[in-house]
Amino acid sequence: MAHVLLRHRDIPDINKLDVYKKNGGIDAFKKSVTKMQPNEVTDVVKNSGLRGRGGAGFPTGMKWSFIDNKNWPHYVVANADESEPGTFKDREIMESNPFQFLEGLAIASYAVGATAAYVYLRGEFWQVAAFLDEKIAEMEKAGYLGDNLFGTEYSLKIFTHLGAGAYICGEETALLESIEGKRGQPRVRPPFPPSFGLYGKPTIINNVETFTNVPPIITNGADWYKSMGTADSAGVKLFSLSGRVRRPGNYELPFGKTFRELIYECGGGVQEGRPVKAIMPAGASSSLIVVDDKVLDTPMDYATVRTLGADLGSASVIVIDDTVSVDWIINKTIHFFKHESCGKCTPCREGNYWMQTITHRIHSGEGKQEVVDLLLYVAKQMQGICLCALGEFATMAVVTGIERFPQDFKKVVKA
């Protein structure tokens, strides 16, 4: 099947504007601006069943319909922070199929009446940002961005903005603070961005992959999109497959394919033919799933993965084999979250500090079973009381690791 998102794998040079144009590019944006009312665009996206690809899976069209039309101007922001360990899909889109992403961002801007849009990229994507700047300039030159687009009243500018190495800036309100030139710390919500966003104005924030789905939806219609995937999760998804597989990489699949298909057919199975011991389906923020045949044959969509006691999130599937011990894994994840906690609220700041100290003790063989129990207690104390989801994410691997892989901890604790 031809790719919907990774079209560069089928069409060479689609990152050149004339090639993109020849292959139907910009048609959807032109159709939106010249033939559709903004709310009609939003309705098509709503009916397509598209859900946000940044992790939470929130229905995209519904989010757009929340924009506050009593307060102007409006902004649209693309979340290209992509910092979840195990996630590398947005980067491939922006590097290889940039116009489809930018066109989707432009369509979203038209749908909510924004005349300025920002792409917030993590600071490490310095080269990607320079590349996008070139692509934006090409679109301006061709008359697809700028004033009075396609002979209408509608005008739009797109700007890139680089972060500077802070995972928390992927959280949408921290991201907005960062564009405003402040430290990237989450805001207390409500109000939510569609009523109070960038510079206090109504703002729609979506993930890069979410926007990239929009042009083909406008061109081919909501029913076409819904014909792919499952009833719960419409359409196609990029899976970033990493860890101990033979062929790590991005794979575009309709929702509903199984973990087995992803790991074995796409990924070529585990290195040295070893068995899969655990899966983290949403990067370092994931719960650890104990893997057996039933799990491998589970269809990957938002609702079904939840029945395994985990979230699909951004679909950054980390594969762990039987050579790896879970105490080592949580030592890695806690190191990450301790480093990335923004420090704004006490349970996350202090909790991560203690979790790191205790995990380190266990991992280096200095802890008794009581220390493992203490770690579990600290993690559970943090749950439900942090200001943003990072605090929650930090506890997922710890709690599920200790509860689902007790034997790995028995091996490292002192008698």
Partner 1 sequence: MSLEKTHPKEVKQILSKYPPEQKRSAVMPLLYLVQREEGYVNKAAMQDIAQMLDITETEVASIVGFYTLYHDEKAGKYRMQVCTDLPCALRGADEFLNNLCGNLGIKVGETTADGLVTLEGVMCLAACDKAPMFQTQGPDGIKYHENMTVDRTLELIEALKQADREVK
Ligand X SMILES: Cc1cc2nc3c(=O)[nH]c(=O)nc-3n(C[C@H](O)[C@H](O)[C@H](O)COP(=O)(O)O)c2cc1C
Applying CB under 6 A, which residues contact ligand SF4? 168, 186, 341-345, 348-349, 386-388, 390-391
**Measured distance CA(398)–CA(56) in Å, rounded:** 21
Strands in 157-162's sheet, in edge-to-edge order, are: 157-162, 114-121, 74-80, 203-207
Bridge partner list, 242: 318
> Which parts of 386-415 interact with partner 1 (CB under 8 A)?
none
340 touches partner 1 by CB under 8 A: yes
92 touches ligand X by CB under 6 A: no
Is the CB of 142 or the CB of 389 nearer to ligand SF4?
A: 389
Stretch of 5-13, 21-29, 55-63, 180-188 contacting partner 1, by CB under 8 A? 180-188
Structure tokens at 410: 């028995």
How many Cβ atoms are within 10 Å of 164's Cβ, its own excluded? 10
Q: Binding ligand X by CB under 6 A: which of 68, 92, 103, 172?
A: 172
Q: Binding ligand X by CB under 6 A: which of 210, 212, 230, 233?
A: 210
> Which parts of 33-52 interact with ligand X (CB under 6 A)?
52
Is the CB of 66 or the CB of 126 nearer to partner 1?
A: 126
Q: Binding ligand X by CB under 6 A: which of 36, 276, 378, 388?
A: 388
Q: Rounded to 5 degrees, what angle do the CA atoms 33, 191, 208 make?
A: 45
Stretch of 189-197, 230-238, 244-252, 293-301 contacting partner 1, by CB under 8 A? 244-252
252 touches partner 1 by CB under 8 A: no
Structure tokens at 122: 């993590």
82 touches ligand X by CB under 6 A: yes
166 touches partner 1 by CB under 8 A: yes
244 touches partner 1 by CB under 8 A: yes
159 touches ligand X by CB under 6 A: no
Q: Which residue has the tokens 């687009």?
A: 149
> Which parts of 215-234 interact with partner 1 (CB under 8 A)?
none
Q: What is the 3-state secondary structure (H, E, C) of the chain?
A: CCCCCCHHHCCCCCCCHHHHHHCCCCHHHHHHHHHCCHHHHHHHHHHHCCECCCCCCCEHHHHHHCCCCCCCCEEEEEEECCCCCCCCHHHHHHHHCHHHHHHHHHHHHHHHCEEEEEEEECCCCHHHHHHHHHHHHHHHHCCCCECCHHHCCCCEEEEEEECCCCHHHHCHHHHHHHHCCCCCCCCCCCCCCCCCCHHHCCEEEEEHHHHHHHHHHHHHCHHHHHCCECCCCECEEEEEEEECECCCEEEEEECCCEHHHHHHHHCCCEHHHCCEEEEEEEEECCCCEECCHHHHCCECCHHHHHCCCCCCCCCEEEEEECCCCHHHHHHHHHHHHHHHCCCCCHHHHHHHHHHHHHHHHHHCCCCEHHHHHHHHHHHHHHCCCCCCHHHHHHHHHHHHHHHHCHHHHHHHCEC
266 touches partner 1 by CB under 8 A: no
- Which partner, ligand X, partner 1, ligand SF4, none, binds residue 349 by CB below 5 to 8 Å per kind? ligand SF4
125 touches partner 1 by CB under 8 A: yes
Stretch of 16-24, 34-42, 79-87, 215-223 contacting partner 1, by CB under 8 A? 79-87
389 touches ligand X by CB under 6 A: yes
311 touches ligand X by CB under 6 A: no
Q: Binding partner 1 by CB under 8 A: which of 32, 97, 178, 400?
A: 178
In 3D space, the residue among 326, 330, 322 whose CA is nearest the CA of residue 276 turns out to be 322
83 touches ligand X by CB under 6 A: yes
Residue nearest to ligand SF4 (CB): 348
**Measured distance CA(110)–CA(308) in Å, rounded:** 39
- Which partner, ligand SF4, partner 1, ligand X, none, binds residue 21 by CB below 5 to 8 Å per kind? none
- Which partner, ligand X, ligand SF4, partner 1, none, binds residue 179 by CB below 5 to 8 Å per kind? partner 1
Q: Binding partner 1 by CB under 8 A: which of 68, 82, 138, 311?
A: 82
103 touches ligand X by CB under 6 A: no
Stretch of 153-161, 202-210, 253-261, 364-372 contacting ligand X, by CB under 6 A? 202-210
Binding residues (CB under 8 A) for partner 1: these are 82-88, 90-91, 122-127, 130, 159, 161-167, 178-184, 199, 240-244, 248-250, 284, 318, 320, 324, 329, 332-333, 336, 339-340, 342
Binding residues (CB under 6 A) for ligand X: these are 52-56, 58, 79, 81-84, 168, 170-172, 205-207, 210, 388-390
